[in-house]
Amino acid sequence: MSTAEVSGVEPHTGGATTPDSAPTLRMTRMLDLEQLEVELFRGFGVERSPMRVFGGVVAAQSLVAAGRTVPAGRLVHSLHAYFLRPGDPSVPIVYRVDPIRDGGSFTTRRVTAQQHGEAIFTLSASFHTPEDGFTHQLPRLDAPSPEDLPVTPGSMDDADELSRRWYSTLPERHPFEFRFDGELPRLATGRGERVAPRQRFWLRSREPLPDDPLLHRCAATYASDMLLLSSSLGLHGTTLDSRDLQFASLDHAVWFHGPFRADEWLYYDQEGTWAGGGRALCRGRMFNRAGALVVSVVQEGLIRQRPRVE
């Protein structure tokens, strides 16, 4: 039974609504890996960037590969990953799964993503047979509903040209639609202001997804990397696309707390909790419409300043 049937909420019927541009990425295509051998998979490029593959793509596809080797009935509850090298968007990525352990109730898998004979990403994931236990969560969700937020933030009307271009290309870069809760820090940066390192928004897949819980957790893994590192920059008056900033995700951890659908609205609360030594630590929490905390995220990234070349 799908989580939509459990909750009584029907998934949406798809269609991009933000910004006004035709969607170019499909979640189902991205998560459809070719199986080469029992523990060997291949993912095909879905990127339009000439520079590097978005980290969320590699993380999501790695989790697909791991999940396809796990006994039925076990759901991923955590993953820990390291970004080693930039991915080349012009060639496929090969995912090699190492079956570390199959225990009585937990399964562990390690995945290495490779291109050009080198490892570009590693992931360790733990899967667990669902069981009953103590329950509580802190904090509770405190947010407007996505229907109460504009499709296009009004603040974009007065945004700088770089921010407007960044926003207009969101559908080309990510297979999600968004509802932003409040002004994004990058807009304040465009006005020369410094603000708290926090940003919040609703998100959901632009297309309906199959009922397979693994695919929804893989989609959330992709989403967990979206905009997260940028949440650390509001205090520092810069953005990730600044010419004097070098950035990269270094390591990434995700914990899954309960059932959800990635084609229904999830609220992503992001915060840059620390920065120093050329690195930043960011955390995120995803809530479903009912206010349940369903995903927790922590990421450390490189944010290195470098001399501006005019």
For this structure, is 299 an active site residue? yes
Alpha-carbon separation of residue 183 from 35, 50, 129, 149, 265 (angstroms) = 43, 29, 41, 11, 19
Distance CA 61, CA 231 (A): 24
Q: Which amino acid is at 199?
A: Q
In the sheet with 176-180, reading across from the earlier edge strand, the strands are 34-37, 40-43, 93-102, 106-115, 118-128, 75-83, 245-256, 293-305, 279-287, 266-276, 198-205, 176-180
Alpha-carbon separation of residue 277 from 101, 189, 274, 305 (angstroms) = 37, 22, 10, 10
Measured in degrees and rounded to the nearest 5, phi and psi for residue 170 equal -55, -45
Q: For residue 127, what are the β-bridge partners?
A: 76, 107
Tell me if 78 sits within 8 A of 125, measured CB to CB. yes
Active-site option among 115, 163, 225, 230: 225
For this structure, is 35 an active site residue? no
For this structure, is 246 an active site residue? no
Tell me if 76 sits within 8 A of 63, measured CB to CB. yes
The two structure tokens encoding residue 218: 């893989």
Active-site option among 61, 126, 205, 249: 249
Catalytic residues: 225, 249, 299
